[in-house]
Amino acid sequence: MDQNTIYQLFVATFDPQVHKQAELELRGLENHQGFLPTVLQILASEESELNARQAAAIYFKNRLGNAWDRSKDAASPISEEDRNMIKQSILQAMVTAPNAVKVQLTSCLYVILSNDFPDQWPNVLTEVEQLLRSNDVRFVYVGLLALREAVKIYRWRSADRRGPLLQIISMTFPLIQSIGANLINNADSPEAGEMLKLILKIYHTGIQGDLPADLQNSASLVPWGTLCLQLVERPIPYSVLPADPDEREKYAFGKTKKWAYHCLNRLFVKYGNPAMMTTSQNKYLPFANSFAAEFAPNILQAYLHQVEGWIKGELWISHKCLALTSAFFEASVKQKTTWQIIKPHTDTLVAHFIFPQLCFSKEDEELWAEDPVEFVHKKVDPLEDIDSPETNASNFLITLARNRKKHTFMNILNFVNSVLNKYLETPEDQKNGREKDGALNMISCLSYLVLKKNSPVASMMEPFFVTHVFPEFKSPFAFLRARACDITKHFSDLNFENEQNLATLYQHVLDCLRDAELPVKVHASLALQPMIRHESGTAQCHGPSLPFIMQVFLSLTNEIDIDTLANTMEEFVDVFAEQLTPFAVQLCTQLRDTFLRIMEDYTQPSLVEEDDFDSASDKTMAAMGVLKTIGTLILSLESTPDVLQQLENALLPVITFTLKNRIMDLYNEIFEIIDSCTFSAKRVTPTMWSVMELIYESFKDSGIDYMDEMLPPLDNYIHYGRDVFVTNESVQRMMCDIIDTVMKSDRVGEADRVCACKLMESILLNCRGQVDGFVSPFLNLAFQYIFTNQMKTMEFKVYCLEVVINCLYYNPVLTLRLLEENQWTQGFFTLWFNTLNKFTRVHDKKLVIVTLCSLIGLPLDQVPASLQAGWSQVLSGLLNVFGTLPKAMENREQLEKWYGNDFDDDELFNDEELEASDVDDEADHGDEDVPDEENEYLEFLAQQASLHADDEEDEYDYEEEIEEEILFESPLDEINPYIQFEQVFRGMQQNNPASYTLLTKDLDVEQQKVIMTILSTGEQQLLERQQQQQQQQQQQQA
């Protein structure tokens, strides 16, 4: 294949006049033998233009990404001959490729290795080793790049799938460690620094998920540890750094040092700290004991020495390295050997290491001024700030105060107090606001410990607020106004003895909503949310201020996309629903406009780019929050149908936009809104019927994956829109197509098929006598699973059986005829009665009772002979269900009680258990190891996962009881099973003696007593119902 012709085509892709034609010609050539290897030659050629080489590299990467995996049916597969040629040439191509092309080829190499190593490319390690042993630095660098990609494949694989990684480690890790040791003296040079960084990243990847035995022995650990320590101890003086702080963070050797810290932290925190070992990590315990005694102290001393130089201003530590230092210190606090080393330094570390990192910095000030929105994201969004210096310093502080409380807690509080008193005594024009911010930040971090039961300082916090926090709401420093709001949020559990102080605090926060600075307003908004609990002290203020507060929330949501604001707004709507009712339509309209504004930005093409993924994610989360607030607002207006109608009309653009644009990230919230509208109104308006078509279109496109979310609104269309449903063939066709597709599609699981079964039940229960044509297809859908043994879960089995049971209840004669025609009768009833104990919910038991009542009430000549043979067993089954009904009803009533009382997890524990928990949490461990609670919890989760991982996939993997659905409504709710049975049984005695005789001929004495009890209960409950109806009539007449 002519290389020059292909090269000219890549050159032409940059010409606006002919680029489309060139791309078409390239696509036409891609199936030709030798084409891809030729592309590789072009991008590797040092004589080619850079633009053409980059275009070839991008094409090459995309082609491999789409077609190299043999398990996928690629439209244009890559031949084995081309694959072999590429594998023979790609490493050499990387040597001559410029950096822009090398990046693309490195990605390609990962794709190849992921699929072909080791089985179909067994000699690649030998090739890499040869590169690493070369005297040419370009070859060594490519060898490191290749090795990094090979190791990455096994980063998250389980131990039983990491065999090839052990071979890689044994063959190459000693070699790259030796290369690193030779580079250490030139580490400041960009080339050496980059190679050292690669070496450390390879080592870190190798120990990320597991620490292989080869890396645990001293022969490996000492040289690797020495290499990392040498890099950590190599100082970076300020004199070699750029003046700009942001540019300093990009300093090449700073990034190399970061990976040295990463490696040492990983060794200690995951494998080398006995205090943090879990049961599943016992295999590392000998290593951990040795590491903690022999290696960790040296690392800790090196870190402390670096911090000492940083405190004195003699050397620079990057933000990442500061964060990693704090993480190492935090782990050191928990281990007794390292605790003894760090213990004498705690006061210094608190005052000169932790405190400066928690103060409002110059970088914070610049970000606040230049981009207040980004500042808020950084400070408020926990995912934005994870593993930042401030976050890790806070964690270090909390661990010190909690786990070594006797030695540190009061010292920390005394330091904070000294800073705050110094601020009080300083003249106004000389006050250092940054230091006060840091002190308040520290006390916020410790709020949980300060307010704990038996805390020696809890009673001091109200005067503390009056003295140190209240004045800062009016501070000339905007960041202190924000901090005052933030500490208010952290101390939301503080109980004020003086209600006037609480009212003053609330007014201060409310005033901050009017602040000119965006971060202050955001912090004030977040502080208001937990203050809702102080009803006595703030309720009077809330009422008149609610419209203003909601307006600020909406305004902020338009300025900044942050989901925590939406959560605050949602809670206000929930708590103050009654007060907000007069403003509901206006509020909903503004929420709609806010949503559409967010989504207009979201759908801009620029956000499709990878670099803007975080921005798109922020907007999605903000939009979710707005939709949740709308949903809460709708549910609060259940008793105002006129307002609900206006809300529906206002929200139609929101629903239409989301479903038409297939914004699947918001489907859950949108379907909840549709559910809330139809459920709250207890009817389906023409507006909502138009939405039904949008739901169906979404389902046909990709909505099948959201069947669980679609179920509630679809059920409402049947339940509350019954009159339209039974007469509108278009609606029936859409609903039946959804059911049929879900029951037959390979794309969904049994949980989704359960949803389809629920829809079939809803149709049969709500449309009795009006949908006879549905019975036969519904039976066919259920029996394709019932008699083929394809039901993996008991839940799906029960729901499939209930489809048939519902058909029997809907029209017993028609259904029995269809069962007989298909020879299903005897097999179905046998399976049903053998499974009766799995019908655990009240709804299930009611359905069984009313259906069996319908059957036994039939004239005997309408009962198939195959069923007559076991007719007495039908009554026995009915009595068994009645026997378990009271317990099921009691269980449901208890759940309803809990739900109605806003049941809280704390109710699971008694006061003694909670007090014991407090004591355990406050226990001081002296100078011994501190058990790591977080790791213990992770261990528990791992154990639970392993229990299920080993489950055999038998016929029914999960036989858990089907849970009661408290909010589930059904026409069966209005049926009294006792009255139903009493009326049917008495009717049989009088009008159907033949069936009655056959039914009762085998009853024993105990069963006869049960029947009499049920009949007596039915008569009593019927009498009570009639009396209630009479009383209601009399009240209406009066």
Query: Would you state the pLDDT for residue 53?
Result: 93
pLDDT digits (tens, 9 = 90+) for 512-528: 999 999 999 999 999 99
Chain mean pLDDT for the chain = 89
Residue 920 above 60 pLDDT?
no
Query: Would you state the pLDDT for residue 564?
Result: 80
> Minimal CA–CA distance to 798: which of 834, 771, 762?
834
For residue 425, how many other CB atoms are within 10 A of its CB?
A: 8
CB burial string 766-788: b at 16+ within 10 A, e below: bbeeebeebbeebbebbbebbee
Helix (H, G, I), strand (E, B), or coil: what is residue 609?
coil
Tokens of 209: 């998920």
Residue 606 above 50 pLDDT?
no
Average pLDDT over every residue of 436-451: 97
For 620, residues 6+ apart whose C-beta sits below 8 A from its C-beta are 602, 665, 666
Residue 743 above 80 pLDDT?
yes
pLDDT digits (tens, 9 = 90+) for 891-912: 988 888 887 655 444 444 444 4
Better-scored residue on pLDDT, 931 or 224? 224
Query: What is the rounded distance in angstroms from the CA atom of residue 212 to the CA atom of residue 197?
Result: 21
- Radius of gyration, alpha carbons of the chain: 36
Query: Would you state the pLDDT for residue 541?
Result: 53
Query: Would you state the pLDDT for residue 563?
Result: 73
Average pLDDT over every residue of 356-369: 96
Q: Where are the alpha helices (DSSP H) in 909-1004?
A: 911-922, 933-949, 977-991, 993-1000
Q: Which of 33-37, 131-135, 593-597, 944-948 has the lowest mean pLDDT?
A: 944-948
Q: Per-residue confidence at 770, pLDDT binned at 50, 70, 90?
A: very high
Average pLDDT over every residue of 171-178: 97
Average pLDDT over every residue of 37-45: 93
pLDDT digits (tens, 9 = 90+) for 642-656: 888 899 999 999 999
Query: Would you state the pLDDT for residue 914?
Result: 43
49 alpha-carbon distance from chain centroid: 46
Q: Per-residue confidence at 932, pLDDT binned at 50, 70, 90?
A: low
How distant, in Å, are the alpha carbons of 149, 153, 173 from that of 107? 8, 12, 22
pLDDT digits (tens, 9 = 90+) for 20-31: 898 889 888 988
- Kind and range of the H or E element at 924? none
Cα four-point dihedral sign 197, 202, 207, 209: positive
Query: What is the rounded distance in angstroms from the CA atom of residue 512 to the CA atom of residue 474?
Result: 9
For 744, residues 6+ apart whose C-beta sits below 8 A from its C-beta are 781
Query: What is the rounded distance in angstroms from the CA atom of residue 24 to the CA atom of residue 5?
Result: 14
259 alpha-carbon distance from chain centroid: 29
How distant, in Å, are the alpha carbons of 155, 276, 284, 383 from that of 280? 19, 11, 9, 28
> Minimal CA–CA distance to 316: which of 236, 372, 262?
236
Better-scored residue on pLDDT, 381 or 61? 61
pLDDT digits (tens, 9 = 90+) for 804-839: 999 999 999 999 999 999 999 999 999 999 999 999
pLDDT digits (tens, 9 = 90+) for 285-302: 999 999 999 999 999 999
> Minimal CA–CA distance to 561: which of 603, 521, 594?
594
pLDDT digits (tens, 9 = 90+) for 714-736: 999 999 999 999 999 999 999 99
Query: What is the rounded distance in angstroms from the CA atom of residue 563 to the CA atom of residue 526?
Result: 11
Query: Would you state the pLDDT for residue 651?
Result: 94
Average pLDDT over every residue of 253-261: 96
Query: What is the rounded distance in angstroms from the CA atom of residue 221 to the CA atom of residue 288?
Result: 12
- Kind and range of the H or E element at 877? helix 871-900
Helix (H, G, I), strand (E, B), or coil: what is residue 556?
helix
Tokens of 432: 């250092």
Calculate what percentage of the chain has a pLDDT beyond 90.
67
> Minimal CA–CA distance to 691: which of 676, 705, 704, 702?
676
Contacts 24+ apart (CB under 8 A), 172-176: 172/125, 172/128, 172/129, 172/132, 172/147, 173/202, 173/203, 173/206, 173/214, 173/215, 173/220, 174/220, 174/223, 175/129, 175/132, 175/133, 176/132, 176/144, 176/147, 176/202, 176/203
Calculate what percentage of the chain has a pLDDT beyond 70.
91
Phi–psi pair at 536, nearest 5 degrees: -65, -35
| Contact predicate 523/372, CB 8 Å | no
First vs last C-alpha separation in the chain: 100
Query: What is the rounded distance in angstroms from the CA atom of residue 591 to the CA atom of residue 479?
Result: 29
Query: Would you state the pLDDT for residue 940?
Result: 56
| Contact predicate 538/532, CB 8 Å | yes
HSE, CB side, 13 Å, CA atoms: give it for residue 423.
22
For residue 150, how many other CB atoms are within 10 A of its CB?
A: 25
pLDDT digits (tens, 9 = 90+) for 958-967: 455 677 777 7
Residue 739 above 60 pLDDT?
yes
- The DSSP result for 696-757, as a single string, is HHHHHHTGGGGHHHHHHHHHHHHHTSHHHHTT-HHHHHHHHHHHHHHHH-TTS-HHHHHHHH
Query: What is the rounded distance in angstroms from the CA atom of residue 523 to the CA atom of residue 381?
Result: 12
Residue 615 above 70 pLDDT?
no
How distant, in Å, are the alpha carbons of 132, 550, 639, 1003, 1026 from that of 592? 61, 14, 22, 65, 48
Q: Would you give the DSSP letter of residue 450?
A: H
For 1011, residues 6+ apart whose C-beta sits below 8 A from its C-beta are 879, 985, 1003
Residue 937 above 60 pLDDT?
no
**What's the whole-model pTM score?**
0.78
Q: Per-residue confidence at 158, pLDDT binned at 50, 70, 90?
A: confident
Average pLDDT over every residue of 1000-1005: 89
Reading phi first (left if > 0) and then psi (alpha if -120 to 50, else beta), residue 454 is in: left
| Contact predicate 652/691, CB 8 Å | yes
Q: Would you give the DSSP letter of residue 145?
A: H
Report helix angle 667-681 to 686-701, nearest 10.
150
pLDDT digits (tens, 9 = 90+) for 380-416: 876 666 778 999 999 999 999 999 999 999 999 999 9
Q: What is the largest CA-CA distance in the chain?
A: 107
pLDDT digits (tens, 9 = 90+) for 191-225: 999 999 999 999 999 999 899 999 999 999 999 99
Angle 402-351-426 from CA coordinates, rounded to 5°? 120
Residue 950 above 50 pLDDT?
no
Q: Per-residue confidence at 936, pLDDT binned at 50, 70, 90?
A: low
| Contact predicate 588/651, CB 8 Å | yes
Q: Where are the domains of the chain?
A: 1-121, 123-210, 387-531, 535-682, 683-824, 835-897+959-1038
Average pLDDT over every residue of 521-547: 75
Query: Would you state the pLDDT for residue 152?
Result: 95
Phi–psi pair at 427, nearest 5 degrees: -55, 150
Average pLDDT over every residue of 920-927: 59
Q: Which amino acid type is present at position 673?
A: I
Query: What is the rounded distance in angstroms from the CA atom of residue 1006 to the CA atom of residue 999?
Result: 16
